[in-house]
Chain A
Amino acid sequence: MQALKIRNLVKTYKGGVEALRGVDLDVPAGDFFALLGPNGAGKSTTIGIATSLVNKTGGTVEVFGHDIDKELEAAKSCIGLVPQEFNFNQFEPVIEIVMNQAGYYGLDRSTAYQRAEKYLKQLSLWEKRAVMARELSGGMKRRLMIARALVHEPKLLILDEPTAGVDIEIRRSMWEFLRKINQQGTTIILTTHYLEEAENLCRHIAIINNGKTIESTEMKSLLRQLKVETFLFYLQEAVTQVPEIAGYVLRQLDETTLEVDVTSEQKLSSLFSALGEQGIEVKSMKNKSNRLEELFVSMVEGGQQ
């Protein structure tokens, strides 16, 4: 069963702007799915159509088998949406926002209260339940939108840049929360500009550029396409010149930092051994940039050429 199946989705806005020019997506049920693309690529428009906030020009969208042209209400019942921008009434108390949303899905007040309590507690907002939404911090507002999206316990949760502008501590706690929700069976679609986030959380990935799907595959197989990775080595002791090791290109950034390109055929263990033979010990290391980011940039730039 596909949680979301999109075929040849087209959207032309008034004035002739073509936002989508044939997007295809297959999101398996239970998946944690990354939907990536540069600004203006068409991610939010795709999500808008799937959640019926945007009228499509052409193509088909099915949510858990429900075609939005034929069974819109059933399709809507399956989806919870956390949009990019705050879209709740700033002048309502937190708990009312969550309970009202439950009501719109037909949940009676008693169930709505129980669910609101459950998710507000899980997202550390229960103490703020009587506070007006406008008084919350940015991170709290993001979490409020997650609680609101989950209150009817949707089978598919769509998060459009949920961690934008959120500090790292809250971002990591949100990752943990989303992992838990996904493990409990909720399919999650995530759009983000933090590619580390997508790489850490998601099992499948689709990349949209210029209104078209340019890649849709498993995260692991996508990362395998990366031909060269660049690492930074932090050395135990300073070196005066760049070590020469056959087959590797090393560059010295400062006395104790080396940069090295490693191809997919090469092994880091061989490199460490060769460095060790020259009396150079590596204290720690890291990727110069995120692996997915390198792939993403090459794909998007490739698509624009």
Chain B
Amino acid sequence: MKLAEQYVAFSSLLLKEIRRFMRIWVQTVLPAAITMTLYFIIFGNLIGSQLNDIHGFKYIDYIVPGIILMAVINNSYANVVSSFFSAKFQRHIEELLISPMPNYLIIIGYVAGGVARGTVVGMAVTLVSLFFVDLSVQYLWVSVTAIFLTSILFSLAGLINAVYAKSFDDISIIPTFVLTPLTYLGGVFYSVNMLPEFWQNVSLINPILYMVNALRYGMLGVSDIDITTAMLIICGFIAALFTFSLYLLNRGIGIRS
């Protein structure tokens, strides 16, 4: 395919993905906004008002970046895993497989769909947060980059999950037993400096820690992790997952017999 044709193919897939999650926005966008509102009310207002400041910020201000990022992570992942698995399940993935679209473009198309939903939900949660905090962003581009890279990373993870999934149960196991614990232990609701040294070191193997701190740095200007290290680690994970996704599609694992 020529470059212009590749662009058309990519935008067709992206448009299809955006239409898909916007058509069912009550299931895809609204729940995150409601859940995160509850987080702000319960953890931010009710419990947070009883807690001390962290790094000089009120507790509710401190957890806003983590809550936004949690919504981005969950929704980027959920979008790709459910869309790709549905395509496999209903066999309309064959529409893509028989077309001349290269495999890397199929990955980029699905990932872009995940990024679109992650971004839309992230914006919705950010708007909700305005009801609870006076939001100020210290470094806009760091914040945007952190959200963008995080949604790419978890869209890729969702794609890999969908490739291996054989039933709808398989697409809920990873979010429930891996993603949620990692998110909660990634410093969304606390600073890792509050942990004993051993657990601080254990936390360093959790990739979500770097993403939460990157966004926290962008929004509040404070981070438990060096921002350059955080960004490099996120990019490293993206490169590894993209390469693995491409390998899976090239080999036809889970999609070709």
Q: Which of A13, A79, A92, A103 contacts B9 (CB 8 A)?
A: A103
Known A76-B98, A79-B98, A89-B92: A107·B8 in contact at CB below 8 Å: yes
* A3–chain B nearest beta-carbon distance, Å: 16
| Interface contact B98-A90, CB-CB below 8 Å | no
What band does the interface of chain A fall in when counting residues whose beta carbon is under 8 Å from B? 35 or more
Known A13-B257, A73-B100, A77-B100: A103·B11 in contact at CB below 8 Å: yes
Give the segment of A47-55, A193-201, A225-233 that binds chain B: A47-55
Report A27-59 CB contacts with B as 1/0, cut-off 8 Å: 000000000000000000000100111110000
* B94–chain A nearest beta-carbon distance, Å: 5
> For chains A and B in complex, what number of residue pairs have CB atoms within 8 angstroms?
89
What band does the interface of chain B fall in when counting residues whose beta carbon is under 8 Å from A? 20 to 34
| Interface contact A81-B98, CB-CB below 8 Å | yes
| Interface contact A89-B96, CB-CB below 8 Å | no
Known A73-B100, A100-B16: A106·B257 in contact at CB below 8 Å: no
| Interface contact B97-A53, CB-CB below 8 Å | yes
Q: Which of A89, A101, A112 contacts B99 (CB 8 A)?
A: A101
Q: Which of A52, A89, A109 contacts B87 (CB 8 A)?
A: A89
A88 CB–B CB distance under 8 Å? yes
Residues of A within 8 A of B1 (CB): 73, 106
| Interface contact A85-B257, CB-CB below 8 Å | no
| Interface contact A106-B4, CB-CB below 8 Å | yes
B200 CB–A CB distance under 8 Å? no
- How far is B249's CA from A72's CA once the two chains are assembled, in angstroms? 14
- How far is B127's CA from A134's CA once the two chains are assembled, in angstroms? 36
Known A87-B90, A89-B87: A52·B95 in contact at CB below 8 Å: no
CB contact list, B84-108 vs A, under 8 A: 86-87, 90-92, 94-102
User: Closest residue of chain A to B105, judged by CB?
Assistant: A104
- How far is B86's CA from A20's CA once the two chains are assembled, in angstroms? 30
Residues of A within 8 A of B99 (CB): 76, 101, 104-105
Known A88-B92, A104-B13: A52·B6 in contact at CB below 8 Å: no
| Interface contact B91-A87, CB-CB below 8 Å | yes
* A266–chain B nearest beta-carbon distance, Å: 49
* B113–chain A nearest beta-carbon distance, Å: 13
- How far is B9's CA from A70's CA once the two chains are assembled, in angstroms? 22
| Interface contact A53-B100, CB-CB below 8 Å | no
* A123–chain B nearest beta-carbon distance, Å: 18
In the complex, which of the residues A13, A54, A72, A89 has the most CB atoms of chain B within 10 Å of its own CB atom?
A: A89
Report B45-59 CB contacts with A as 1/0, cut-off 8 Å: 000000000000000
A83 CB–B CB distance under 8 Å? yes
| Interface contact B101-A104, CB-CB below 8 Å | yes
- How far is B90's CA from A106's CA once the two chains are assembled, in angstroms? 23
Known A53-B256, A73-B102: A101·B2 in contact at CB below 8 Å: no
- How far is B95's CA from A109's CA once the two chains are assembled, in angstroms? 17
- How far is B92's CA from A131's CA once the two chains are assembled, in angstroms? 18
| Interface contact B102-A87, CB-CB below 8 Å | no
CB contact list, A63-115 vs B, under 8 A: 72-74, 76-77, 79, 81, 83, 85-92, 96, 99-109, 112
Residues of A within 8 A of B94 (CB): 53, 81, 83, 87
Residues on B lying within 8 angstroms of A by beta carbon are 1-2, 4-6, 8-9, 11-13, 15-16, 19, 23, 86-87, 90-92, 94-102, 252, 256-257
A-B contacts, 19 of them at CB < 8 A, read A13-B257, A52-B256, A53-B256, A54-B256, A76-B100, A83-B94, A85-B91, A88-B95, A91-B23, A92-B16, A100-B16, A100-B95, A102-B12, A103-B8, A104-B13, A104-B100, A105-B9, A105-B100, A109-B8
16 other A-B residue contacts (CB within 8 Å) besides A73-B102, A104-B96: A13-B257, A52-B98, A53-B256, A73-B1, A74-B100, A85-B91, A87-B94, A90-B90, A91-B23, A96-B16, A96-B19, A103-B9, A103-B13, A105-B99, A106-B5, A106-B100
